[in-house]
Amino acid sequence: MAKTKTKFSCTECGYETPKWMGKCPGCQGWNTFVEEVESVVRTPGLSGAAFQTQEKPTSIIHIESAKEPRITTDNQELNRVLGGGVVPGSLILVGGDPGIGKSTLLLQTSFELTKKELKVLYISGEESTRQTKLRADRLGAMSPLLYVLCETNIESIMNAIDQVEPDFLVIDSIQTVFHPAIASAPGSVSQVRECTAHFMRIAKMKGIATVLVGHVTKEGAIAGPRLLEHMVDCVLYFEGERHHTYRVLRAVKNRFGSTNEIGIFEMRETGLVEVNNPSELFLSERPLGVAGSTVVASMEGTRPVLVELQALVSPTNFPSPRRMATGFDHNRLSMIIAVLEKRNGLFLQTQDVYLNVAGGVKLDEPAADLAVAISVASSFRDTPTQPFDAAFGEIGLTGEVRGVSRVDQRVNEAVKLGFKRIILPEKSLKGWTPPKQVQIIGVSTVQEALAAALNR
């Protein structure tokens, strides 16, 4: 009897080695190697010859330039994140925590595409066809062009694709699909890599827009090899808390659009409903006249969003005070606290500082620095900010306030929601005309910003 050969593969980068190693030489990750069976038996149904084409290499100057067509859905939030709609032949990976609403979003999208006379094939590897029908009844997603199949064998899935010839394909989820020629279990590195490669070839050759649902690890990353994210055209993360009704769809990779766009949804009994005005949503529960609360005008892609920042500064008896941030970079918060201590005389060495971005939004642009500084100073001095003030600007290490981009869009969004004063960098006042119904306060240092925001 022949001895079974095994190998060890890195779950992050796909590096292979005959022996287990604690640290991966490829990506320098620790404890990322898993054992897999090396022997693979080829099957004629899924051999490489089945995917061979007769195309020949063509000079790039002889290739006709054509704009990539897109399939637009009725969901404008999804269209924005994808860059204008679904591109035929694209391979999209959607990840998120269990129960966050991935299957609900894709089933609703599938039904919307059937309204445009497009065939949709929904492959469910985790639910039976009856369970999928129950969800479709609840969402009202009933259409004769929506085909559902409960299958995990990739050979059967390929046969179903040949029979239906869909325009849109959903695989829920890629970790449940297995290749019968590979001896490892479904969800392993080799299974996920090989099955994704087959779906990628089908999507490119037949022009089928394919969506793969991926599980996430406890760290929040998509489970499986990191190579999975490199193979697909678009990677979307569905974020939010299961105990809250709001969800955020964020693109971290997109070959056909921007990676700075976000889509905001609200989970209801009838499914996911898009939120057209997220600023009003995030500020609906904002308390007025409370110390430590400041509104920042942030940009998420091409959309201005007004979000509330809440800071709490409290004394501590421990030698090392805590600095905690939710929705904001922890290192940047520490930098802003250092600037407030060194340049503005706020003694925060004996204070715990907690920062929270209300609504579950993650702010990663430097324009939120000024609002963070105002919130921390307001809580430290126990002085409330004015309820109809908004602020934005980048802070430097010398205490200066640097200019930011798209100032007019931020200000117009604040005016639309009834804000009366805007504190912004003085260098950003050039090149545009402020609205007459709002007071613009240009500042060049953090000291000037705190004086304008906290001095009554």
| Nearest-5° Cα angle at 374, 385 to 394 | 140
| Residue that terminates a domain, selected from 276, 306, 335 | 276
Q: Are 191 and 244 in a shared domain?
A: yes
Of 223, 242, 276, which closes a domain? 276
Query: Does residue 306 sit in the same domain as residue 436?
Result: yes
**In one letter, which amino acid is 278?**
P
| Of 7-11, 22-26, 120-124, 330-334, the least confident | 7-11
Confidence of residue 225 (pLDDT cuts 50, 70, 90): low
Average pLDDT over residues 269-291: 85
Say which CATH number the domain at 74 has: 3.40.50.300
Please indicate, yes or no, if residue 23 is contained in any of the structural domains: yes
- Same-domain status, 234 and 326: no
Number of domains within the chain: 3
pLDDT of residue 1: 44
Q: Are residues 309 and 405 in the same domain?
A: yes
Is there a domain that residue 416 lies in?
A: yes
pLDDT winner (highest mean) among 42-46, 336-340, 360-364: 336-340
Give the domain extent around 10.
Answer: 6-37
pLDDT at 41 over 50: no
> Which of 288, 285, 371, 387 has the alpha carbon at shortest distance from 327?
371
Q: Is residue 136 part of a domain?
A: yes
Same domain for 260 and 306, yes or no, is no
DSSP state string for 38-82? --B---GGG-GGGG--------GGGSPP-PPP-B--S-HHHHHHH
Q: What is the pLDDT of residue 98?
A: 83
User: Per residue, what are the HEC states of 150-212?
Assistant: ECCEHHHHHHHHHHHCCCEEEEECHHHCECCCECCCCCCHHHHHHHHHHHHHHHHHHCCEEEE
Q: Both 97 and 227 in a single domain?
A: yes
Region 368-392: mean pLDDT is: 94
Going 420 to 261 to 223 to 5, the CA torsion angle's sign is negative
- What is residue 26's predicted lDDT score, i.e. its pLDDT? 78
Q: Would residue 57 count as lying in a domain?
A: no
Both 260 and 287 in a single domain?
no
Judge whether residue 44 has pLDDT over 70. Answer: no
Question: Is there a single domain that holds both residue 164 and residue 18?
Answer: no
Query: Which range among 44-58, 144-158, 411-425 shows the weakest confidence by mean pLDDT?
Result: 44-58
Is 44 a member of any domain?
A: no
Q: Is 365 exposed, middle or buried (0-12, 13-18, 19+ CB in 10 A)?
A: middle
Question: Are both 414 and 319 inside the same structural domain?
Answer: yes
Token duo for residue 381: 């001095």
Which of 237, 257, 276 delimits the end of a domain?
276
Quick one: 159 and 204 in the same domain? yes
Quick check: helix, strand or coil at residue 305? strand
User: Tens digit of pLDDT for each residue in 149-177?
Assistant: 999 999 999 999 999 999 999 999 898 99
Same domain, 81 and 132: yes
Residues 156, 16 share a domain: no
47 domain-assigned? no
CATH number (domain holding residue 399): 3.30.230.10
Give the Cα separation of 175 and 195 in Å (integer). 9
pTM summary value: 0.74
Q: At residue 200, what is the residue type?
A: M
End-to-end CA distance of the chain: 87
What is the largest distance, in Å, between two alpha-carbon atoms of the chain? 87
Q: Cα–Cα distance between 312 and 303 in angstroms, integer?
A: 29
Q: Average model confidence (pLDDT) for the chain?
A: 87
Q: Per the domain annotation, does 382 fall within a domain?
A: yes
- Is residue 314 included in any domain, yes or no? yes
